Amino acid sequence: MKEFPSKFVPQNLKHFQTYKYDRDCCYLREAIYESVLQEKPTEDAKTVNLVKGPLKNETKISTKAMIGNAASSTQLVLTPEPGPFETPFNLSAFKEHRNPVRFDEMIAQISKELKEKGWDVFVGHAGTSMWIFPQGMAIQLPDW
């Protein structure tokens, strides 16, 4: 910031919470934009799997080893990289970092704006995660 905004004067103290809300919305938009830009969509990505439990295409490898006189068995689960739009935006990290005012209202506003731009939005994990994906893309919701 090169200089303080002209509205940053003691006469506007009663408006500071509104200014903070507006500024937090700007930061949330920026964070979501940067997060979605990291996605690597493919031409055939038509389904988002937001499922709890075994992932599609996971591979299980069992190993047995001798430890002392006892046999030990370990199972290693290899999962593929998440597909496009399967990784949620971390709302709880944003909330912890910015400590926004009227956070639930902000999430509703941002969700509405995203939908107007052609995105679908799913907020899960008790409001701590937000999945953002193209409208019309099939989605499998988790069993929480």
Rounded distance between C-alpha atoms, residue 27 and residue 130, angstroms: 15
Helices (H) and strands (E) in the chain, counts: 3, 7
Please state the pTM of the whole predicted model: 0.69
What confidence tens digit (pLDDT) does each residue in 74-85 have? 444 444 556 667
What confidence tens digit (pLDDT) does each residue in 3-56 have? 999 999 999 999 999 999 999 999 999 999 999 888 766 665 555 555 444 444
Confidence of residue 100 (pLDDT cuts 50, 70, 90): very high
Cβ count within 10 A of residue 107: 19
Question: Which residue carries 């969700």 as its tokens?
Answer: 111
Lowest model confidence (mean pLDDT) among 8-17, 96-105, 108-117, 122-131: 122-131
Pair type for strands 129-134 and 89-90: antiparallel
User: Is the distance from CB of 51 to CB of 140 less than 8 angstroms?
Assistant: yes
Residue 83: the pLDDT is: 61
